[in-house]
Amino acid sequence: MENADYHAHPAISKSHLDLIARSPLHYWARYIDPKRVIPEPTPAMRIGSAVHTHVLELHKWDAEYTVAPDGLDRRTKAGKEAWAAFEAEANGRTVLSREDADLVMHMGRAVLGHPAAALLLGMAGEAETTLMWTEPTTGLQCKCRPDWITEDGGIVVDLKTTEDASPREFRRSIAKWRYHVQAGWYMAGIEAAYGKRPSGFIFIAVEKKPPFAVGVYAADEQMIERGYETAMRDLQTLAECKSSGRWPAYSDRIEPISLPSWMTGEATTQTTEIEMY
């Protein structure tokens, strides 16, 4: 299944769970509203997708990406004509600026130059495999698309672009972007598809600025289990909304609110930050 077809398929993905966790109304507006407008990918998303292709599916690069010519003044007649000719030649491929293309190349080389990352991605495996299953307690069709999975389904690798790949800051990214939910969700999907649970879920995190440092982190069992529990809670909420036809936003009542713990001096740890989800 092509990536665009995967994202268009109505089965429930981790991205769906992220929106239902924010509020059912956000989910309805993005995936159900008949007047919805599909958002365009952000620049960060474009870079992330390009890095994935460069690292995991380099053979597709020329078919999916092209680099804009330098020095075109599109305000002039000649510049407009040259750009029109370039767009025709691009034929639907994603156009990257020279600066963004160089950035992608640097990040890709950094990943493949990291010993642990290179070892993982050098194993027999497959990129961007679409998996679908029916979750038994809700009856909902679900999906996931691991970045890289070994041939026997034993190890899952997820490639992330980030501002800071250090252990401390990547823990914050896990909490902010719910990467633990992704780990639990993917492990469940792969087990449903392969009939056995993978032995590990590993993040490869690469920074988006020089020196393009790379960190490779194996999710521990607590992270995976907590992520799976959160995913099931979100999925149950989605099932209830689909059944009732009600898609509430936040509370209808006046609710108390206080300062976040970091402003009040209450001690927190990165572990509890993750576990709060």
pLDDT tens for 130-148 read: 999 999 999 999 999 999 9
Domain limits, the chain: 8-39+115-246+264-277, 41-112
Collapsed DSSP state (helix, strand, coil) of residue 237 = helix
Q: Which residue, 34, 11, 32, 22, is CA-closest to 237? A: 22
Which pair of structure tokens corresponds to residue 36?
Answer: 């919805």
Asked whether the beta carbons of 208 and 161 are under 8 A apart, the reply is: yes
Could you confirm whether domain 8-39+115-246+264-277 is CATH 3.10.129.10? Answer: no
Between the alpha carbon of residue 17 and those of residues 106, 137, 231, 238, the distances in Å are 32, 16, 7, 8
Provide, rounded to the nearest whole percent, the portion of the chain with pLDDT above 90.
75
pTM, two decimal places: 0.88
Neighbouring CB atoms inside 10 A of 46's CB total 17
Q: Write down the pLDDT at residue 272.
A: 37
Provide, rounded to the nearest whole percent, the portion of the chain with pLDDT above 70.
95
pLDDT tens-digit series, residues 190-224: 999 889 999 999 999 999 999 999 999 999 999 99
Collapsed DSSP state (helix, strand, coil) of residue 204 = strand
8-state DSSP, 125: E
Helix axes 24-31, 14-22, angle to 10 degrees: 130
Q: Which residue, 227, 264, 215, 237, is CA-closest to 12? A: 237
Asked whether the beta carbons of 108 and 55 are under 8 A apart, the reply is: yes
pLDDT tens-digit series, residues 255-273: 999 998 889 876 544 443 3
pLDDT of residue 172 exceeding 50: yes
Query: What's the average model confidence in pLDDT over 75-94?
Result: 81
Mean pLDDT over the full length of the chain: 91
Q: Which residue, 186, 102, 110, is CA-closest to 142? A: 186
Q: Write down the pLDDT at residue 194.
A: 87
Q: How confident is the model at residue 187 (pLDDT cuts 50, 70, 90)?
A: very high
Q: Write down the pLDDT at residue 266.
A: 63
Centroid of chain to Cα 96: 20
Q: Write down the pLDDT at residue 259.
A: 94
Expressed in angstroms, the distance from the first to the final Cα of the chain is: 31
pLDDT of residue 174 exceeding 80: yes
Q: Write down the pLDDT at residue 82.
A: 78
Q: Write down the pLDDT at residue 3.
A: 84
pLDDT tens-digit series, residues 25-72: 999 999 999 999 988 889 899 999 999 999 999 999 999 999 988 877
Q: How confident is the model at residue 117 (pLDDT cuts 50, 70, 90)?
A: very high
Q: Which residue, 246, 252, 238, 275, is CA-closest to 19? A: 238
**DSSP per-residue string spanning 34-89:** TT--PPPPPHHHHHHHHHHHHHH-GGGHHHHEEEPPTT--TTSHHHHHHHHHHHHH
**What is the rounded distance in angstroms from the CA atom of residue 26 to the CA atom of residue 234?**
13
H or E element at residue 6: helix 3-8
**What is the rounded distance in angstroms from the CA atom of residue 87 to the CA atom of residue 79?**
12
Dihedral sign for Cα 265, 270, 275, 277, please.
positive
